[in-house]
């Protein structure tokens, strides 16, 4: 799966939700927040060439800005996500669409919570469909460091690409939001 879309979903996986742990007096917060929503934008520079240019490949820089909102637990109300990565292999819209249903490569992401703590996770994304101009994906991540270490979270995401994406125009921006967040 092309790097840009993997990163989009990978960022959504930064959220360690679900399992709560006790907070010890005088220690850093150990309560994992539960957040009801995640959304943001992701840009690709240069954009992924449209399907009309199936042999043109790019290795875009992908930048992500997002926020977890409606969070409760441990005094946390939100989490801010920022990330940037450069694709290691050339990609385009033709390759993106051919990768539907296949898990992408592992990515690493970070979130900064409203109480100042951070979480780092390893994330895998699978694009599950393209429908009505939107991209649907399932993200599975494991928090490897910081708040929520050891937690696994699955987030379903709906992404809306820029107008004309992959047909007449390159894919250069996606706005995304979670449709379901679960934790085990």
Ramachandran region of residue 73, left (φ > 0), alpha (ψ -120 to 50) or beta? left
pTM above 0.85?
no
Give percent above pLDDT 70 in the chain.
Answer: 84
pLDDT at 23 over 60: no
Looking at per-residue pLDDT, the higher value among 157 and 10 belongs to 157
Whole-number Cα distances in Å, 97 to 2, 38, 93, 167: 9, 24, 6, 11
Compute the average pLDDT of residues 167-183. 92
Confidence of residue 101 (pLDDT cuts 50, 70, 90): confident
23: phi then psi, degrees, rounded to nearest 5: -100, 125
Neighbours of 114 (CB within 10 A): 15
Confidence of residue 27 (pLDDT cuts 50, 70, 90): low
| Spans of all domains in the chain | 3-20+34-183
Compute the average pLDDT of residues 34-54. 92
Whole-number Cα distances in Å, 169 to 8, 47, 93, 112, 181: 19, 9, 10, 34, 32
CA gap 10, 83 in Å, rounded: 10
């Amino acid at each position: 799966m092309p790097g840009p879309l993997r990163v989009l979903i990978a960022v959504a996986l930064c959220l360690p939700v679900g399992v709560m742990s006790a907070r010890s007096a005088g220690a850093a917060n150990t309560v994992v927040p539960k957040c009801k929503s995640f959304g943001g934008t992701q840009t690709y520079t240069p954009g992924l060439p449209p399907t009309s240019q199936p042999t043109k490949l790019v290795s875009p820089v992908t930048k992500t800005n997002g926020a977890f909102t409606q969070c409760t637990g441990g005094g946390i109300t939100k989490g801010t996500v920022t990330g940037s990565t450069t694709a290691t292999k050339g990609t385009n819209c033709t390759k993106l669409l051919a990768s539907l249903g296949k898990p992408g490569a592992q990515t690493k992401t970070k979130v900064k919570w409203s109480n100042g703590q951070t979480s780092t996770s390893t994330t895998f994304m699978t694009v599950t469909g393209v429908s009505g101009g939107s991209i649907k994906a399932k993200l599975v991540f494991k928090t490897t460091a910081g708040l929520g270490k050891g937690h696994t979270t699955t987030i379903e995401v709906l992404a809306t690409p820029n107008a004309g994406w992959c047909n007449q125009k390159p894919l250069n921006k996606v706005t995304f939001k979670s449709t379901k967040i679960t934790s085990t």
